[in-house]
Amino acid sequence: MKTPKEKILLVGAGPMAQAYAAVLKKFKLSFLVIGRSATSAKTFEKATGVVVITGGLETFLKTDPFLPTKAIIAVSVQELGPVTRALLNAGVKNILVEKPGGLNKKDVAQSATLAAAKNAHVIVAYNRRFYESVRKARKMIMADDGVISCAFDFTERVGDVEKLKIPDTVKNEWLLANSSHVIDLAFHLAGSPSELKSSVGGALPWHKKAIFVGHGKTETGALFSYHANWLSGGRWNIEIVTLKRKLVLQPLETLRVMKKGTFDTKTVALDDSLDRAFKPGVYRETEAFLLGDYDTKNLLTLAEHHSRLEIYEAIANGRNLRKT
């Protein structure tokens, strides 16, 4: 990778920011870290050896600093939107913001509108698009002339979610905040939905629905279905079917293949050294962002992400969707 001469701005000092820092250090890039609390800063500095400027982005911007043209945002979900807009208003033109880019549709819409007005490139970081398993699956799909059907499961481990020390407003939007990893990846591989029939049921104290079942057709003509039940057992899973084979991503970091006419499922050998050395997907995703590969279909622009939020809302609320 050609090394940029300027510094990269990294906003956040939590575990995800540490993952980005590890990649930036591997690239031998100079970067400035802005954190909020002294506690998270101390943990970050101990893990990375990089000093954090504390007090938060708002305080930092009041010093009228010289800002890099590229920034990575790795803050809590409820802060993603406000931080993105603060950087856009400060003149930063290239931003990689952690998924899902905002707390809800309104929050994401505000950032998308501002990014368009500022003529800025904002990318939403769905790192699973860059897993080696997914890269291999894409090659197989292309070799097989595309996807003909797809099924996926985005069941969440409710007990783990309930233990998280995060605001209820984030848990209320958990399908977008977390399950969207699976949904985005499924439609990234099979095509965006043109038709969707959705049903929901059950409930949780912090999420109005807990069972999600639906089916439809993508813009490429592939049929799809999904079934996620947060009240019972299950795990993230994507099955892609071509005319020649079924591709199974479960866990998503792995790839298994069942060829047409057989019952045998074989694990595909992967050169996943980067996914093992760093948080899976983050190395290649960060590289693509820093190189400015904004036209690639693997990076998700904020504008495209915003246009897809109606899909998440339909799945979350049991609504039908048809694009003309």
Whether the Cβ atoms of residue 35 and residue 52 lie closer than 8 Å to each other = yes
Domain boundary among 110, 125, 140: 125
63 with 155, same domain: the answer is no
160 with 221, same domain: the answer is yes
56 with 83, same domain: the answer is yes
List, in order, residues 6 or more apart from 71 with CB less than 8 Å away: 8, 9, 10, 11, 87, 92, 94, 95, 96
List, in order, residues 6 or more apart from 304 with CB less than 8 Å away: none
pLDDT per residue, tens digit, the chain (324 aa), is: 554 456 899 999 999 999 999 999 999 999 999 999 999 999 999 999 999 999 999 999 999 999 999 999 999 999 999 999 999 999 999 999 999 999 999 999 999 999 999 999 999 999 999 999 999 999 999 999 999 999 999 999 999 999 999 999 999 999 999 999 999 999 999 999 999 999 999 999 999 999 999 999 999 999 999 999 999 999 999 999 999 999 999 999 999 999 999 999 999 999 999 999 999 999 999 999 999 887 778 999 999 999 999 999 999 999 999 987
In the sheet that 223-229 helps form, which strands lie side by side, from edge to edge? 265-267, 256-259, 245-249, 237-241, 149-153, 223-229, 211-218, 193-201, 321-322
Q: How far apart are CA 213 and CA 310, in angstroms?
A: 16
Closest by Cα among 76, 29, 30 to 57: 76
103 with 187, same domain: the answer is no
112 with 193, same domain: the answer is no
Q: Are strands 94-98 and 70-73 parallel, antiparallel or unpaired?
A: parallel
Closest by Cα among 303, 251, 319, 310 to 97: 303
119 with 141, same domain: the answer is no
Closest by Cα among 314, 317, 309 to 99: 309
Q: Say what the pLDDT of residue 306 is.
A: 97
Closest by Cα among 10, 140, 102 to 309: 102
List, in order, residues 6 or more apart from 171 with CB less than 8 Å away: 161, 164, 206, 207
Q: How far apart are CA 34 and CA 53, in angstroms?
A: 5
Q: How far apart are CA 247 and CA 230, in angstroms?
A: 24
Q: How far apart are CA 313 and CA 146, in angstroms?
A: 27
Q: Would 292 be classed as within a structural domain?
A: no
Q: Would 144 be classed as within a structural domain?
A: yes
Q: What is the pTM of this model?
A: 0.95
Domain holding 310, by residue range, is 129-272+303-322
Residue 258's Cα: distance from chain center in Å? Answer: 27
Domain boundary among 99, 125, 151: 125
Q: Are strands 31-34 and 8-11 parallel, antiparallel or unpaired?
A: parallel
Token readout for 274 is 């980067």
Q: How far apart are CA 237 and CA 197, in angstroms?
A: 20
Q: Which helix (H) or strand (E) holds 309?
A: helix 302-317
List, in order, residues 6 or more apart from 87 with CB less than 8 Å away: 9, 11, 57, 67, 71, 73, 95
68 with 140, same domain: the answer is no
Q: Say what the pLDDT of residue 5 is.
A: 53
Q: Say what the pLDDT of residue 204 is.
A: 98
Q: Say what the pLDDT of residue 3 is.
A: 47
247 with 141, same domain: the answer is yes
